[in-house]
Amino acid sequence: MVAFANAHNDIIDFETDKINRPKRPLPSGDIKLKMAYAIAIKCVCLAILFGLISGFEFALLFAAVGALSFVYNKFLKGLPLAGNFAVALLTTTPIVIPIVKFGLPQPELFNLVFFAFMLTMAREITKDIEDMPGDAANGLKTFPVLHGINLSLSLVFIFEFQCLAVLALLKPYAVLAVLPCLFLSALFARLKKWRLSQTMLKLAMLAGLVLYV
């Protein structure tokens, strides 16, 4: 399902990627749009099939994930924060699967969902800052396009602080691994090294999830 979402996203982003990421497979011409469509359709069908094999509830979950991915790619990604919210919600899906399987209550998993959601929001807004030239040229109204870099970074830092606060309360030792990653992410963001800043946020999420469990 992630492969479907990424393939469909690359199709929708074809014009903006000509500006923001011209070396990617579609804008560079390495892969044709027709092939990308075929890959996307095959991936979503396989995901739902695997869901049916695993259980009807998983087929419904994967279909919902696919639908939300499509809605995000087609309609939400150019809206301030709505697209970021959708991606952050989709990122939590692997953690939601045990909840679907075993039911409620599972407070530890809900804490992980919150952690993953907040860090993904921070990463997605950072990505939108990096993509401002192409997004603005194609009429997308992301949060950074509408409100600028400084306010966007303030929002990123708020999300990061919330993640640290949750870890400090529930798993204090995990802060020792996550804090350096967040510090480097903030440093790279101030230096306008957006790709490195996003990488540090990914490492922060990995460290937090591993140490939390």
pLDDT in tens, 57-91: 888 888 999 999 999 988 898 889 998 999 998 88
The Cα 12–Cα 120 span in angstroms is 21
- Predicted TM-score (pTM) of the model is 0.83
pLDDT range class, residue 41, cuts 50, 70, 90: very high
b/e map 82-117, b = 16+ CB within 10 Å? bbbbbbbbbbbbebbbeeeeeeeeeeebebbbbbbb
Judged against a pLDDT cut of 70, whether residue 195 lies above it is answered with yes
Judged against a pLDDT cut of 90, whether residue 209 lies above it is answered with no
b/e map 41-77, b = 16+ CB within 10 Å? eebbeebbeebeeeeeebbebbbebbebbbebbeebb
Task: Tell me if 43 sits within 8 A of 3, measured CB to CB.
Answer: yes
The Cα 163–Cα 116 span in angstroms is 9
Same domain, yes or no, for 156 and 60? no
Same domain, yes or no, for 123 and 19? no
How confident is the model over 36-41, as a mean pLDDT? 94
The Cα 131–Cα 179 span in angstroms is 26
Judged against a pLDDT cut of 90, whether residue 127 lies above it is answered with yes
pLDDT range class, residue 168, cuts 50, 70, 90: confident
Write down the mean pLDDT value for the chain.
89
Same domain, yes or no, for 144 and 53? no
Query: Tell me, what's the pLDDT at 153?
Result: 96
Same domain, yes or no, for 116 and 67? no
**Residue range of the domain that includes 95:** 79-213
What tokens does 145 get? 């396009």
Residue % of the chain over a pLDDT of 70? 99
What tokens does 178 get? 């996550």
Same domain, yes or no, for 64 and 9? yes
In terms of average pLDDT, the best of 92-96, 106-110, 177-181 is 177-181
Same domain, yes or no, for 67 and 83? no
**Domain with 148 in it: what CATH number?**
1.20.120
Query: Tell me, what's the pLDDT at 213?
Result: 65
Same domain, yes or no, for 152 and 71? no
